[in-house]
Structure 1
């Protein structure tokens, strides 16, 4: 009887060890194979510690179907890791998105396809994945006399119009604002410069709130409207004089937004300006967008 009881306990212990090992192997595969899809990149990060620090393609359920998406498991934004990549474009080596045009001189960048004033959209698919947080970054360049949030030709500032000389990031229909990247005429200040310049420029419209960055590539007024100011990129948090607070935000060039309601709509970035390209231009060197 004693031998039988000891044998039974031994068998239970062996089974427990085997189950533990198998469970551990299952955990390693969570989010990596179609038969063990995660709910989201964040879900996989939280439940599968083996994925930490390992960005790449993982499997999540979109609707009812497992799909591979790119998860960044290293990026920390808003205090969270586990972000789904929507786009990651560097004009120095990548094509520009549909709706924008690539230039290579005097610098590799994306610009509006037309010389006319207005807003020119590029759509970035979220693949129908629900999200409530958006994280991203952008680096750009100034051409000529960009006016930040001041508008010469469009005094009524609608989210659908060129309310900014810069880039407007939105989602959904009707558009809902996420973030604005603005370019002021110079770092000294005045009506057509950034609200953070030495002399405060025009404030953004109410729907923007505090969700924007603004910078200039020129210390003083550009000497020529046709001048490309490529020596000082904008939104990189560098090159601002001491009496200009446009570079003081510690997260530059990154932004983070918690949106009011969960959405699965595509993200949209529009290059906007209220005057023709002969007067001013907005160039995008790089853009990264993530959702969670």
Structure 2
């Protein structure tokens, strides 16, 4: 391919297609030529007048955006000063993505305190001033970023302006809400949380993850009245951030501050099976089982801890029986020792819980042996149930009786269905902590044509 060099005294890799350059002559960039060449050197374009003007405009826009945010924050403080009384700071959440509007339907055991005693507005003002300091950090970081690295600024501008625009709208909404609080007792529980969220999100844009907590337990310790909801957390190493659900109520007999590592609910039409599992559908039920296999196998899904040091695991799994599952079989922890779900942690695997699918809940053919201990490595850390109420199986997905929910139990399962904590399993390792990942395996000792176990819901927390 023939290339025409405009500035031959500069040798670098800044060659771009001619059609991507401006067609107007600014005496330094592209100029008309009789040559019909496809490429022209773009080094001078970067240093052109238009390039410098563009950079100045970008910096001005960024500074104006943050100026607006600061003005809105000050206006918010002014409106708060007018409020005569306020509710508890129940919504002042460090790192929260959602406060009073959080969707907490995912957790039946969320029992956090919803009482709202009257508190002093000075506390809210204090929180607001703290948030104003956070916004000042953002502004300082933005100014520091306004250096001569033009390409980096150009790439980040669109994302930054969108975030500041969204944040400005949130602050406008908050100011409007506070303006109506003078003669009412409307709760201000979510106001501090929402403004703090703005600052946190903007700090994340600058990769300042040190401003964020690393676990839901830390959030609960620093803000005891934090509600359950989705939070932005920093990885323990501080090199990244992620969003996760925090359960701030009691789970498995322990207080709030549970970090969710794993979640799937196939009743949500927008949810898909993990890539390692295969979709089953029957009678309006969607669930996930092993990929097609002609032999016994396990399909694995792993959930990282993101460096969280934990000593407790609490979770639940709901599944469905397909055809003739045989409960437990011989084998070790690394084998397909169960027709069901095996939950372990770390490598080498350490057993957490086993969820077993029996053949039938009324016929004594490979049933749940509720009065007998299974393999030694399982111990008493298991649930067992069958979804088949008959003596026949066939190629049937038994969707009318979900597994491991403690409901619809037959005569052979009554002991299993009275297991403590069901449907929640719980492991407490005392003073021993770990950062192990959690692994969920769906296993069967025969081909998927003959039998399988599927999962329709799981959620696993650590603390």
Of 24, 41, 46, which residue of structure 1 is paired with 2:216? 41
Q: Confirm or deny: 8 A CA contact 2:353 2:381 kept in the other structure.
A: yes
Instruction: State the partner residue of 1:3.
Output: none
Instruction: State the partner residue of 1:256.
Output: 426
Residue 218 to residue 21, structure 1, CA distance change in 2 (3 Å): closer
Of 212, 221, 231, which residue of structure 2 is paired with 1:57? 231
Offset at residue 58 of structure 1 (A): 3.1
Residue 204 to residue 181, structure 1, CA distance change in 2 (3 Å): same
CA–CA distance in 2 between the matches of 1:275 and 1:46?
Answer: 48
Q: Which protein is richer in helix relative to its size?
A: 2
1:4-56 CA deviation, whole Å, 9 max, x = no partner?
Answer: xxxxxxxxxxxxx9997776555967x9634543242112112203413x311
- Point out the more displaced range, 178-187 or 256-265: 256-265
Instruction: State the partner residue of 1:98.
Output: 275
CA–CA distance in 2 between the matches of 1:269 and 1:35?
Answer: 31
- Point out the more displaced range, 134-143 or 185-194: 185-194
State the superposition RMSD in angstroms.
2.8
SS in 2 for 1:88: strand
Of 201, 214, 220, which residue of structure 1 is paired with 2:384? 214
CA–CA distance in 2 between the matches of 1:67 and 1:83?
Answer: 17
Instruction: State the partner residue of 1:279.
Output: 450
Of 290, 308, 313, which residue of structure 2 is paired with 1:129? 308
CA–CA distance in 2 between the matches of 1:239 and 1:21?
Answer: 50
Of 123, 147, 164, which residue of structure 1 is paired with 2:338? 164
SS in 2 for 1:195: coil
SS in 2 for 1:263: coil
Point out which structure has higher relative CO (alpha carbons under 8 A, 6+ apart): 1
SS in 2 for 1:44: helix
Residue 19 to residue 61, structure 1, CA distance change in 2 (3 Å): farther
CA–CA distance in 2 between the matches of 1:233 and 1:190?
Answer: 20
- Give the 5 Å matches for 1:77-88: 77-78=251-252, 79-88=254-263
CA–CA distance in 1 between the matches of 2:277 and 2:229?
Answer: 28
Tell me if 1:240 matches 2:405.
no
Q: Which protein is richer in strand relative to its size?
A: 1
Instruction: State the partner residue of 1:193.
Output: 367
CA–CA distance in 2 between the matches of 1:255 and 1:130?
Answer: 19
Residue 233 to residue 20, structure 1, CA distance change in 2 (3 Å): closer
SS in 2 for 1:283: strand
- Stretches of 4+ moved more than 6 A in 1? 17-22
CA–CA distance in 1 between the matches of 2:121 and 2:393?
Answer: 74
CA–CA distance in 2 between the matches of 1:176 and 1:135?
Answer: 15
Offset at residue 285 of structure 1 (A): 0.8
1:92-137 CA deviation, whole Å, 9 max, x = no partner?
Answer: 3211112111222353110101233111111122223222211111
Q: Confirm or deny: 8 A CA contact 1:77 1:256 kept in the other structure.
A: no
Residue 254 to residue 80, structure 1, CA distance change in 2 (3 Å): same
Tell me if 1:113 matches 2:277.
no
SS in 1 for 2:427: strand
Instruction: State the partner residue of 1:67.
Output: 241
SS in 2 for 1:230: strand
Q: Confirm or deny: 8 A CA contact 1:71 1:82 kept in the other structure.
A: no
Offset at residue 65 of structure 1 (A): 4.0
TM-score (norm 2): 0.52
SS in 2 for 1:49: coil
Aligned length: 265
Offset at residue 61 of structure 1 (A): 5.0
Q: Confirm or deny: 8 A CA contact 2:326 2:367 kept in the other structure.
A: yes
TM-score (norm 1): 0.80
